[in-house]
Amino acid sequence: MSDDATEVIQLILRERQGRDRGWWDQMRGAYAEDSVVDMSWFHGTGYEFVDRSRFMSRSANGWNGHSVHRIAVPTVHLRGDRAWAEVPVTIEFRITIDGVEADLASYCRNQYRAARDTRGVWQITRLTSIYERDTLQPVLPGATLPVAAADLAGMRPSYRYLAWYQAGLGLTPRTDLLGDDQPAAVAHQYEAERTWLAGRP
């Protein structure tokens, strides 16, 4: 593995570590000033994403610090001062539904664009999530979760429980996210990443 690939992987790992540990300066340092983040609950700049993540971790109706990211081995593609990486991620939430403890797991692929700046430092310029599926199960085996099929009506299978959870937090779940239930949009996303990596308009 090249030194550049190693640096990009470490950049990604530091960004997620900063998010999960509440090390906000470390998380912010991973992003370029003009970066873009696009995921289930947020679309905006990397710096805004850090600020919003900090707020959500402390808000009474936010994540409350109970979500963590389990990251698998990234794949990195390099071309000059550009890198595109894809990282399998499981986002884990320990939540309570009407007094019943439950574990919500959202499975996705995070795609990172990174660029080397004039100092020779790699920074994240874009983060995009592609959602695969999610699960919801009680912590105590045999317990019954008070979630009805009607509660999930109209929610997409690639992130139905995540959308339901966000709605319960007072957020408005997005319906336009990239997900494996819409393969044409996902294929377009991959082509866009390859185009960017090649430096084509």
Report the 10 Å Cβ neighbour count for 96. 10
Q: Quote the percentage of the chain above a pLDDT of 70.
A: 95
Per-residue pLDDT, averaged over 111-125, amounts to 96
pLDDT reading at 164 higher than 90:
yes
Q: Taking all residues of the chain, what is their mean pLDDT, rounded to a whole number?
A: 92
pLDDT reading at 31 higher than 50:
yes
Q: Scan for tokens 């000059």, then name that residue.
A: 80
pLDDT number for residue 60:
54
CA distances from 53 to 13, 16, 175 (A): 16, 11, 21
User: Topology of 3-196 in CATH?
Assistant: Nuclear Transport Factor 2; Chain: A, (3.10.450)
pLDDT band, residue 200 (cuts 50/70/90): confident
pLDDT reading at 65 higher than 50:
no
Rounded to the nearest 10°, the torsion over CA 40, 36, 51, 124 is: 110
For β-strands 122-138 and 31-39, DSSP reports them as parallel
Residue 92 corresponds to which tokens in the numbers above?
């884990």
126-152 residue pLDDT tens: 999 999 999 999 999 999 999 999 999
Domain boundaries, the chain: 3-196
pLDDT reading at 58 higher than 80:
no
Q: Which residue has the higher pLDDT, 125 or 67?
A: 125
168-194 residue pLDDT tens: 888 888 999 999 999 999 999 999 999
Backbone angles phi and psi of 131, in degrees to 5: -95, 140
